[in-house]
Amino acid sequence: MKGKNTIFFLVLFVFCFYLSSGHAAEYQLHGTTRTEIAYRLPSTEKFTKLRNQLLLNETGTLSDQLRFKASGRFFYDAVYDIFDYYPRNVRSDQRWDAELRDTYVDYSGGPWDVRLGKQQVVWGEAVGLFCADVVNAKDLREYVLPDFDLIRIPEWMVNVEYSKKNFYSQFIWIPVLQFNKSGVANAPFAFPYPVPGGSTFTADDPSEPKNGFKNSEVGYRASYLINGFDLGAFYFHSWTKSPVLYRTIDAGVYHFFPQYKRLDIIGATFSKEINDYVIKGECVFYPKGYFSVSDTNSPDGVVTRSFADYIIGFDHTFFDKLNFNFQLIQRVIPHFSEYLVNEKRVNTAVSVRVSRDFLNHKVEAEFLIIESLMRPDLLCRPKIKYNFTRSWQASLGADLFQGEPSGMFGEFRKNSRLTVEFIHKF
């Protein structure tokens, strides 16, 4: 797969170079270089990332109605060559990568727009959380810590949009399936298999459905702006983006054979400004969700339940300077069973994000905390950014995980880390 990506990336680069050298007025080549360093706090394996990353993107106009964008990313992480504490499979997965990212052609005619190619489609109103953001698969090899536009994996799709006054409508068709990328076994952010402590297990590779019309994904979203209320609703006929962990138990040994299953998602979103407070929310309902169970009598270790995730939040700027965001996050499983692994009938969490700038925007400080109200489980992310020129930024931050091992953040409590980044945009 990496070989294919490298070829894509090289072709893209040559293409961009060709365009920018000959048609400087019509095409624009921009890029970002990032040096990212992560230093793990609670472990002896201190440096977990020494990554250099290059992102290139080319945009251009082909005619009055046609535009294009081509973008790619290459990264190399020296930590896998300097230190020897990661096994071969982790090194192979995360040492370097080259990928084609958002690359598409846009057609615009009257109220219609069509985007063909590899792209991100983002639904939802929430800040810093994926709830209604269900369309694109995610690269979770660094969990939810990178920028969201880098977590989302651009997918090949047909995206048809219609806008008329305050009404907006979107139809998407995804013929090429893409699934979440997770950390491989022993990687810092590998997701654990649902087995009791001390149990031994084996696991097959997930079996992916084949690409084709029958297996393709399709979605529709409509929104309407009325009296300042931005109301939206969507339906997405999809697949589980992470595999469902079916299993058998033989003589006390768990054997997992992960599979991707069809998934229907129905959602609604809203936002409204009231007296300088922005109120926003999103709700996503899954008529048939898949959950692992701890019940050893279950024949395959999986049950289906309908459930809903929703977020309600507000934004406000205090004293003209301090941007504040609060969000309440809940998952409700009406037909709850105590055997559902790491779930509750109602699971509640909150997030708070505060940011402000200093010294005439030279320095930006932000603080994000996401915390469960049901059990000790939190992620805390303070960060300070220094714009030392108009195109260079240095930042110092921390990603602090705390909580029980069964929590969505607590399970990575050994991966709390300090981070340093240097970003250059050109």
Partner 1 sequence: MKPTAIPIIFCACVASFFFTGLPAAELTPDEIVQKVDDVRNPELDYTVIVSVSSYRPHNEPRIVTYDVMVKGRDRTVVKTKTPEMERGRMLLMRDKDFWAFFPEVAKPIRISFQERLTGEVANGDIARTNFSQDYSAKLLRSERIEDKDYYVLELTAKADDVTYGKAVLWVAQETNWPLKAEFYAASGRFLKTCLYENYALLAGRMRPSRLVMTDALVKNQYSVIEYEQMQTTELPEKYFTKEYLKKMD
Question: Interface residues with partner 1 (CB under 8 A)?
Answer: 30, 67, 69, 106, 108, 111, 113, 115, 120, 122, 124-125, 127, 133, 147-149, 152, 161, 163-165, 168, 170, 223, 225, 228, 230, 271, 273, 275-278, 280, 315-317, 320-321, 323, 359-362, 387, 390-393, 423, 425-426
- Least distance to partner 1, CB of residue 118, Å: 13
**CB closer to partner 1 out of 63 and 360:** 360
Residue among 416, 383, 411 at smallest CA distance from 128 = 383
Shortest CB 364 distance to partner 1, Å: 10
Residue 93: name the closest of 189, 24, 8 by CA.
189
The answer to whether 349 touches 370, Cβ cutoff 8 Å, is yes
Of the two residues 124 and 194, which places its CB atom closer to partner 1 in the complex?
124
Nearer to partner 1, 127 or 354 (CB): 127
Rounded to a whole number of angstroms, the minimum distance from the CB of residue 176 to partner 1 is 20
Task: Catalogue the E-assigned strands of 110-228.
Answer: 112-119, 139-140, 155-164, 167-174, 181-182, 201-203, 217-226
Residue 72 neighbours by CB distance under 10 Å? 26
Shortest CB 66 distance to partner 1, Å: 12
CB of 68 or CB of 76, closer to partner 1: 68
CB of 217 to partner 1, least distance (A): 19
Nearer to partner 1, 17 or 318 (CB): 318
Residue at 335: amino acid letter = H
What residues have CB less than 8 Å from 133, skipping those under 6 apart? 122, 123, 124, 126, 148, 152
In the complex, least distance from residue 172 CB atom to partner 1, rounded to whole angstroms = 13
For 10, the token pair is: 């090289």
Comparison of 65 and 406: residue with beta carbon closer to partner 1:
65
CA angle centred on 167, ends 165 and 170, rounded to 5°: 125
